[in-house]
Structure 1
Amino acid sequence: MLTDYNIKRKGNRREIWLAIFPFIQFMLVLIALQCALILLSGAAGEEAQEAFRVRVIADSNTADAQLVKAGVAGEVSRLLNQAALTDPSGIEALIPEMTLAAEAASGGIPVRVMHGSAFFPPKVVGGGYIPQTRTDSVVVTLGSGRGDNWWCALFSDVCEPGEVAAEEEETEEEPVTFFIIEWLKSLFG
């Protein structure tokens, strides 16, 4: 004959809730972080969206075409920085000079420079998200303009060397510190 034994339940409701509670906390923290990112990206994206934009489209996706594009982008950004334009009407007068500088930097590749409303794909700038939009801009197209500009997603300094160089010049080197180490030093030191 089989012996009887007591069946124990694996916890009551309180123990089940105590087991689920850390997961719920984790999910709430993730939701809070996502909301914070959305709020922060909206503010940064609005600032960048209002700025005048320049887009250089490469002839193709080859490394050589991207290097030519980098040279042309450097020349165009140099001209725009020197001009320090305050109104969009001054850009129209600068287009012939931009075309000559871009043709010189392109090494014989035909160049088209257009000013006006242009479509820009979505982009992450300075922690903010700029949705795809049409905006007032200068578009420089090299050759056939078949470059996808995927290179820009990987190496943004190739596409916009002026912005990256300006940011590097403005920022001073700060020593790298870690919060936990600094906190421990404050407790014991």
Structure 2
Amino acid sequence: MLQDYTIKKQPTKTSKLIASIEFILVLLAIQGVLLLFNQEVPTSEVAQFRILANSNTAEDQRIKQEVQKKIAPLLDQAISQSTTQQQLHDRLQHLEPTIEQLAGEYANGSAVTFEHKAALIPPKRIGFAIQQQDVYDAYILKIGKGKGDNWWCALFPKVCYPEEATVTETEEEPVKFFVWEWIKSWFS
């Protein structure tokens, strides 16, 4: 009777090639599924709303969240009752004193302004769709100095502060992609 023993196979270049091709096909399949669910956001007609906190302190960010909770119903009502951009703009102009008063109650004496202007809005995800970065018609509620960063400002300072980013810019290392470097290492 023969004893049971394991057969060990050494990975070959062919098996590495097949594994990398399978990996690439899986990535392409995932990309295809994401494209199926991709919805186009009608960006030319979308009004953007932003609330800028006084600073990045925990207290200022908490105030920003409280203000957002209080004015969200007013904005939702104005949006639902408007059928055109002009109607929305008129309703928001009418609500401006109310919005500033509500925000002022939480602002601890800081100045509050509500502006309507063209503003650079970074990309963001809305459902399965991604809104492109662009200059949009925006309504901006600024509490105090309005220096509170949003998450994209920490990750992409050139988007939020292009002047400051060019001053402090140093020589950067070339960008390397882990997956591509890993695949290249198989064939070296």
In the TM superposition, 1:54-69 aligns within 5 A as 54-69=49-64
Aligned residues: 138
Q: Secondary structure at the match of 2:115?
A: strand
Q: TM-score, normalised by structure 2?
A: 0.62
Q: Deviations over 1:42-76 (max 9, x none)?
A: x15x1577433210001111100000001111122
Distance 2:147 2:64 in 1: 12
Distance 1:99 1:38 in 2: 41
CA RMSD, aligned part only? 2.9
Asked if 1:78 corresponds to 2:73, the answer is yes
Q: Secondary structure at the match of 1:144?
A: coil
Q: Provide the identity percentage.
A: 33
Asked if 1:23 corresponds to 2:20, the answer is yes
Distance 1:149 1:16 in 2: 47
Distance 1:38 1:152 in 2: 27
Q: For the structure 1 residues 68 and 38, does the alpha-carbon distance in structure 2 shift closer, same or farther, using more than 3 Å as the test?
A: same
Asked if 1:110 corresponds to 2:111, the answer is yes
Q: Secondary structure at the match of 1:146?
A: coil
Q: For the structure 1 residues 30 and 99, does the alpha-carbon distance in structure 2 shift closer, same or farther, using more than 3 Å as the test?
A: same
Q: Deviations over 1:14-42 (max 9, x none)?
A: x864653232122112123124335534x
In structure 2, stretches of 5+ residues that fail to align are: 1-11, 155-188
Asked if 1:148 corresponds to 2:144, the answer is no
In the TM superposition, 1:3-42 aligns within 5 A as 17=14, 20-38=17-35, 40-41=37-38
Q: In the alignment, residue 85 of structure 1 is paired with which amino acid?
A: Q
Distance 1:132 1:26 in 2: 31
| Larger of the two Rg values belongs to structure | 1
Q: Deviations over 1:77-124 (max 9, x none)?
A: 122124433122322222122111111122322111012322211222
Q: TM-score, normalised by structure 1?
A: 0.61
Distance 1:102 1:67 in 2: 12
Q: For the structure 1 residues 49 and 40, does the alpha-carbon distance in structure 2 shift closer, same or farther, using more than 3 Å as the test?
A: farther
